[in-house]
Amino acid sequence: MNGASTTGAKNSGTNIPVKNLKSPLKAGSFLINSVLIIDYDETTVRKLTRMISLNCKHVEWAKTTEIAEEKLKGQAFDLIIIENILPDMSGLEWLMSWRGQGLVSDAIVMTRSFDLDTAIYAMQAGVRDVLKKPLNVERTLKSLEQFSKLHLRPLAPHKYIPLSQAAAKTGLLGNSSVMRALRDKIELLAKQDDALLITGETGTGKESAARMLHALSERATGPFISVACASLNPETAAAELFGFVAADGSIKDGLIMRANKGVLCLNRVNDLAPQVQGVLLKAIEEQVIRPVGSPQTRTISVRFIAAANATLSTATLEPDFYHRISALSLTMPRLSERVGDIRQLAESFMAQFAYDAKMPALEISEKGANLMAQYSWPGNVRELKNTVKKALLNQQFDTPFDGGTQGKKSLIKNHALDQVERFHIQDVLALTLGNRAEAARLLGISRKTIERKCAAWGVKP
């Protein structure tokens, strides 16, 4: 369904005949480019589609998370509205898992029950808002309008790459101009099939870029083989790369043949022995190899990508080999050149690690995020990733990133009951965009109770 006034939800499975439904509201002052609704309840989907149709250009429906994942492989959505209780898994669990895999779409969760655990999990999953069922038209549209004001730039289809297609979770996320330009260049380079040289400091994500390039190319269905060049013994490198004839006469495939119809990534190509460079040059240029001990050549179809953490030249590599692998080039930015992405990366890594370890994620406060932005990160994205993992395991960030950052477990353990209550109420108020009546409804208490407590805490309306 395309067009600014679409009134139906498109689904890869069951079709919902909502095109004849008329929205009870006039078109509002906001517009959202694309929305994916994930809910098994057709009645809710019909009602929600009717509510938002005048304000959403493109709405699609997925009855299960499996269908949603298929849709996400083909395009990006600015907003995902998901039911928390689904037949196959929890909506929040699914969001948490896909946040760790690089999902950058905003999310709103629908639920019939709302408690402390749900509030904590929603914040860990980066949920924008929580809507309680049955849905209220005014409350729902207010939530979407607030989202539209904060979401300034629609996502292009290639800006989100699922984990099965690329290594988004290892550092290629980010909305900075530097990263948008990088992803655009990777998309262009993916259309080529010549050798490519990727350079950048340690930890900037060179192999991640190579994997994304592979995923966006026509070789995406083929293998991606990564080789640590420093580990290749000059005396046995030919056999490891090209294969060899075994004692029984059979030919054992080498790394290049294993990468046939795909990509071979040569990590730290500057550590490759000179004699190996010469042997590889022929394979790159002619796409032909000869296994050690065999009189026969074998035709291959491999794209060679070289990666190096140093500036390369004819002084560091054999001239012919250097000129061949650097026909196309890509330079990875330092993390200090994309400071605006640091918090998003840290939160993505935190969600991923917390989900994998089944531990409560740490929240990164504004002060903590500012301290991260001020740090130089000599180890780049890899250092940030290791810092986040260590913080999760210790349930606190080490100096200098410990400014006002604590995990929910630490808050509950180290504070009195009234303080835990305050944290919970303030979290729910944040999720409801400060709407005290809605927060009271979700919490199952009166609005007067919230107002009385906020007054006691000095929290202004």
Of 298, 300, 310, 245, nearest in space to 272 by CA: 310
Cα–Cα separations (whole angstroms), residue 169 to 42, 164, 188, 339: 33, 11, 21, 17
Distance (Å, whole) CA 51 – CA 81 = 13
Distance (Å, whole) CA 315 – CA 193 = 26
Distance (Å, whole) CA 454 – CA 79 = 31
- What is the residue-wise DSSP string for 177-198? HHHHHHHHHHHHHHT--S-EEE
Fill in the amino acid letter for 36.
L
Instruction: Count CB neighbours of 389 within 10 A.
Output: 16
Asked if pLDDT for residue 329 goes beyond 50, the answer is yes
Tokens of 238: 């030919």
With contact defined as beta carbons under 8 Å apart, do 57 and 31 qualify? yes
Distance (Å, whole) CA 56 – CA 5 = 7
Q: What is the pLDDT of residue 152?
A: 41
Within 8 A by CB and 6+ apart from 142, the residues are 433, 435
Tokens of 2: 């395309």
For the chain, list the domains and their CATH numbers. Answer: 10-159 (3.40.50.2300), 168-333 (3.40.50.300), 336-410 (1.10.8.60), 415-457 (1.10.10.60)
For residue range 126-174, what is the model confidence (pLDDT) as tens digits? Answer: 787 888 888 888 888 888 887 776 554 343 333 333 433 343 433 477 7
Instruction: Count CB neighbours of 130 within 10 A.
Output: 24
Tokens of 153: 């730039």
For residue range 176-194, what is the model confidence (pLDDT) as tens digits? Answer: 889 888 988 988 898 899 9
Of 115, 182, 242, 202, nearest in space to 377 by CA: 202
For residue range 74-90, what is the model confidence (pLDDT) as tens digits? Answer: 677 888 999 998 887 88
How large is the average pLDDT for residues 443-453? 79
Tell me the sheet residues that pair with 328: 196
Distance (Å, whole) CA 237 – CA 253 = 13
Of 201, 161, 423, nearest in space to 331 by CA: 201
Higher pLDDT, 412 or 191: 191
Distance (Å, whole) CA 186 – CA 91 = 32
Local structure of 59: helix, strand or coil: strand
How large is the average pLDDT for residues 364-373? 85
* Percent of the chain's residues with pLDDT above 70: 76
Asked if pLDDT for residue 453 goes beyond 50, the answer is yes
Across the chain, mean pLDDT equals 78
Tokens of 340: 């605006």
Within 8 A by CB and 6+ apart from 136, the residues are none
Whether this prediction's pTM lies above 0.85 is answered by no
